[in-house]
Amino acid sequence: MGDRHTRGYTRVMRCGVLRADLVLVSKKKREMLLLRGESLLRTYRVALGRQPVGPKRQEGDGRTPEGRYTIDRRNARSRYHLSLHISYPDAEDAARAREAGVDPGGDIMIHGLADGVRLEGDWTQGCIAVTDEEMDEIWGLVGDGTAIWIGE
């Protein structure tokens, strides 16, 4: 197969391929589940923001958000292999940041690795990271508009 830009990452899913309708992330367990209804499709180990305890409050805090969001776009040319954008900040996050006089941050993604290099521990700026191979699979199983719940 050719390089990743010619392998069909933007193609329409084939008939018969199940798609997740919910992504669940447990920050405490460092685990991400892809669900369809009550059926578990896949489970992944994840790396989080470098300060993983507690919800994201402002740009640069190194925390991964907590709450219910949506996968709202994808990037096939990500610096981190592939990425799915999470709709953080929502209106509540933005209001909380405005009250505190800070920028809530944004650009939170589920993504692969930089140059395919696996790092130990929590190392992102607040994103959810998996291996490049796992990201290839997630890319096909999670469509735009899929709900994601991130909890402690």
Q: With bands split at pLDDT 50, 70 and 90, how would you rate the model's confidence at 70?
A: very high
How confident is the model over 74-133, as pLDDT tens digits? Answer: 999 999 999 999 999 999 999 999 999 999 999 999 999 988 788 889 999 999 999 999
pLDDT of residue 117: 80
56: tokens are 């994201």
**So what's the pLDDT on residue 10?**
40
Contact present, 102 and 59 (Cβ < 8 Å): yes
| Residue of 5, 81, 85, 111 marked active site | 111
Say if residues 145 and 70 touch (Cβ distance below 8 Å): yes
Confidence label for 16 from pLDDT (cuts 50, 70 and 90): low
Q: Are 86 and 71 in contact (CB under 8 A)?
A: yes
Residue 18: its pLDDT value, please?
83
pLDDT band at 15 (very low <50, low <70, confident <90, very high): low
Contact between 129 and 6 (Cβ < 8 Å): no
DSSP result, 116-132: G---SS--BSS-EE--H
**Is 15 a catalytic site residue?**
no
Give every CB contact of residue 54 below 8 A, 6+ residues apart in sequence: 63, 66
- CA gap 75, 144 in Å, rounded: 11
CA–CA separation, 33 vs 43, rounded Å?
A: 5
What the block records as the tokens of 133 is 């191979």
Strands 109-111 and 128-129: parallel
Q: What is the mean pLDDT of the chain?
A: 89
For tokens 């191979």, what's the residue? 133
CA atoms within 13 Å, Cβ hemisphere of 49: 27
**Superfamily, domain 19-151:** L,D-transpeptidase catalytic domain-like (2.40.440.10)
- Judge whether 85 counts as a catalytic residue: no
What counts of helices (H) and strands (E) characterise the chain?
2, 8
**Mean pLDDT, residues 52-79 taken together:** 94
| Cut 0.75: pTM above it | yes
Q: What is the predicted pLDDT for the residue at 118?
A: 82
**In the chain, what are the domain boundaries?**
19-151
Q: What is the pLDDT of residues 119-151, one digit of tens each?
A: 889 999 999 999 999 999 999 999 999 999 999
What 3-state class would DSSP assign to 9?
coil
